[in-house]
Amino acid sequence: AVVSTQSTGTMDGSEEVRIIFRQYASLFFVLGVSPDDNVMAHFAFIHNLVETLNSYFRNVCELDLMHNVDRAHMILDEIVVNGFITESNRSRVLAPIAILDKTVDKVS
């Protein structure tokens, strides 16, 4: 089931923030965004992130993220740079991580 809510509040008292979240199985993805931002674009970002994580972890779950937090951060860092979505192509996001995995396997 998909659950989403939108509310506005302030994080530090100076700027309004809209909280957007979406649930995929047992995982919750939460974003704090500007109230003027396109909500559907953020839902598309969350969906793309989950699909990319599913491709890498083969049906991602919370244990995958807990035990491989470095890989999860690398995937997020490939998609988002400086607060902007720079890459949405799943194969391009996962390519550098696959190279790193091969390098680690050779060293081990």
- Strand segments, DSSP code E, in the chain are 6-10, 16-24, 27-33, 80-81, 84-85
CB neighbour list of residue 12: distance below 8 Å, 6 or more residues apart: none
3-state secondary structure of 106: helix
pLDDT at 106: 83
* Predicted TM-score (pTM) of this structure: 0.84
Cβ-based neighbours of 94, under 8 Å, separated by 6 or more:
52, 55, 56, 75, 78
Identify the residue whose tokens are 């995982």.
Answer: 27
Which pLDDT score is estimated for 89? 95
Structure confidence by residue, pLDDT tens digits, 93-108: 999 999 999 998 888 7
pLDDT digits (tens, 9 = 90+) for 66-82: 999 999 999 999 999 99
